[in-house]
Structure 1
Amino acid sequence: MGGKKEKILLVVAGLGLVLYGLWTGLGKKDKGIIEGRTDHPSQESVEEEESDHQEASREEESSESSPLLYVHVDGAVKNPGVYEFQEGARVKDAIEEAGGLTPAGDTGSLNLAQRLSDEMKIHVPKEGETAPSDLTTQPSGGGGEGKAKKVNINRASLEELTSLPSVGESRAREIISFRERSPFVKPEDIMNISGIGQKTFDKMKDLISVK
């Protein structure tokens, strides 16, 4: 009887070891699957991460390479003020940023497609208002009827000079100081002013005169 009891105990113990072995084996297998998934991300996940990283890099490079422009918008707009733009923005973008036109606003004298320049001032006149040329946007280089009066760099006021592309108050004062010592003989002479090179002159050559 005692021998039979011992055999039963041995069988039970053996079954217990087998079950324990199966249980631990399954646990290790599951752990391996989980770790395998963690250590080896899918190709799709890797490609998505690389794409996000490249897109973020492009946005950062674009932000660094595009200088900011500060433009003053006033007149018949809902929210006059100074606004910040990326290079390449147009006059129409500036008007929209300022809240759009008031009911009396008239953009007939403005070139809405013109690119913005730093320190530019855009005056949106009311219907029937004759806006001074120095308070509206710089005209495009085309000729024909209705062409705006050019800015005489030998006689223009500080405000008129700042209406020119890339000419802020500081540079306008330099122009005035220079002409007091030696009047400009030809438009190209404005390149004697510090910071005004060929590219800047090309933007303003159709907008200035010396007589």
Structure 2
Amino acid sequence: GFLSSADQKQINLAQKVTDEMIIYVPAKGEIKSSPAVMNAGQSSSGVNTESTSNSNEKSNGGQTVNLNMATKEQLQELTGIGPKKAEQILQYREEHQSFKTTDEIKEVGGIGDKTFESLKDSLSV
């Protein structure tokens, strides 16, 4: 359970938990400066899991989008990914449980080597 000082409103309780995931629950009144959920080894500058985040603009600001946690909106912020491709990525993720490597995105229809090359620095798993 949560500690009495935990701010449960800053956590997505419906998000699926995966192996090696780290979940940080901020205290009440704490300003959320790092993502609430990240993979082990991912820096605190990783993708914010809230769909209202503006942290991943088209230039991506040096941050990466986690293929296993990104929302449709966050995927669309990647250069060359529109609503249809974002939906295909989410469908692939659901069918295969998760992406094991960023290279695996090439298995999604319409994403080939050229598209992957332009995206690879913006992706993480």
* Alignment TM-score, normalising by the size of structure 2: 0.54
Higher helix share: 1
1:137 aligned to 2:41? no
Give runs of aligned pairs for residues 55-66 of structure 1, distance below 5 A.
none
**Structure with the greater alpha carbon radius of gyration:** 1
Aligned residues: 72
2:102 paired residue number: 187
Kindly provide the CA deviation profile for residues 167-196 of structure 1, in whole angstroms up to 9, marking residues without a partner as x: 100110110011011111000000001110
1:206 matches 2:121: yes
Alpha-carbon distance in structure 2 between the residues aligned to 1:138 and 1:174: 22
Q: 1:165 to 1:137 in 2, by over 3 A?
A: closer
Moved over 4 A (4+): none
The answer to whether the 8 Å contact 1:138/1:207 transfers is: no
| Match of residue 87 from structure 2 | 173
Shift of 1:166: 1.3
RMSD (Å) for aligned C-alpha atoms: 1.5
Q: Distance in 1 between matches of 2:117 and 2:64?
A: 15
* 1:59-110 deviation digits (Å, cap 9, x = unpaired): xxxxxxxxxxxxxxxxxxxxxxxxxxxxxxxxxxxxxxxxxxxxxxxxxxxx
Name the structure 2 match of 1:162.
76
Cα deviation for residue 137 of structure 1 reads 2.3
Q: Which has the higher contact order (CA 8 A, sep 6+)?
A: 2
Task: Measure the CA separation in 2 of the matches of 1:186 and 1:163.
Answer: 20
Q: What is the alpha-carbon distance in structure 2 between the residues aligned to residue 194 and residue 185 of structure 1?
A: 17
CA contact 1:165–1:200 (8 Å) conserved in 2:
no
- Equivalence for 2:64: 150
SS at match of 1:137: coil
SS at structure 1 position matched to 2:121: coil
Unaligned runs of 5+ in 1: 1-130, 140-146
Query: What is the aligned partner in structure 1 of residue 25 from structure 2?
Result: none
Partner Cα distance (2:81, 2:55) in 1: 15
Return the alpha-carbon distance in structure 2 between the equivalents of residues 137 and 164 of structure 1.
6
Gaps of 5+ in 2: 1-52
